[in-house]
Amino acid sequence: MQKNAPFAHETAIITGGTRGIGLAIARRLGRLGARVAICSRTPPAVKRAQAALRSEGIQAYGWPADVGDAKSVRRFVARVRKDLGEVSVLVNNAGVGVFRPVHEMDERDWDLVLRTNLKGAFLMSREVAPRMIHLARGHIIHIASLAGKNTFAGGGAYCASKWGLRGLAGAMAEDLRAHGIRVSTIFPGSVHTEFSPHAGKDPGRMLQPDDVAHVVEMLLRQAPQSFVSEVDLRPTLKP
């Protein structure tokens, strides 16, 4: 943790925070002094990520949670409040992808993608927003994708979830800005993680998880009289 840590008074939830982009965000915010709470549906993954963050001196807490289930979300947020205090930062990062043509996709896969990527962001935001309103402060950041602005073959469910997330975020920003709550969305291009295949792309030219974490930090450091609603993030060199 940095001396005079700028986020020492923040409690941040990062969904899908056990690997890839989510873990990089948790590490970045934790090093800046925030108390970070991570969740995942897989208990062993939560335990490993929590241990890794704590080994760096970060105040990290992890609990299993399914962001697509309202009861699970409610239990998770209640535990975060009890153990860490009021949530001032929410990063909706949890996401899954099933990539195949729409006419070859079964309903179970469609529901999984929309439930995690879109409904999960709605449920988590709904759970933390009322207390943020009461405190007249807070920041909600959605991790979307450039697939939320551009389509590609085999991306029907994934694109639909990210386009929907963009609409949800825009409406939330209007609902919450009068209460001192800022809502932002990051649209990264291809990020070098285990999340999805990137056949033929040079990993060295792709975005890295910490590139997304850097943008999250930038958004949180924004002066309070303004907010950045959307950030498109691309690699300098096409991979």
Q: Give the residue numbers annotated as catalytic, written as ranges.
A: 158
Judge contact between 23 and 209, C-beta under 8 A.
yes
Nearest Cα to Cα of residue 12 among 238, 191, 220: 220
Nearest Cα to Cα of residue 116 among 98, 90, 145, 95: 95
For residue 137, give both structure tokens.
């402060």
Alpha helices in 136-180 (DSSP H): 156-176
Identity at 91, one-letter amino acid code: V
Residues 6 or more apart whose CB falls under 8 angstroms from that of 238 comprise: 205
Say which DSSP state 187 is in: E
Helix or strand (DSSP H, E) at 20: helix 20-31
State whether the Cα torsion 127-44-142-6 is positive or negative: positive
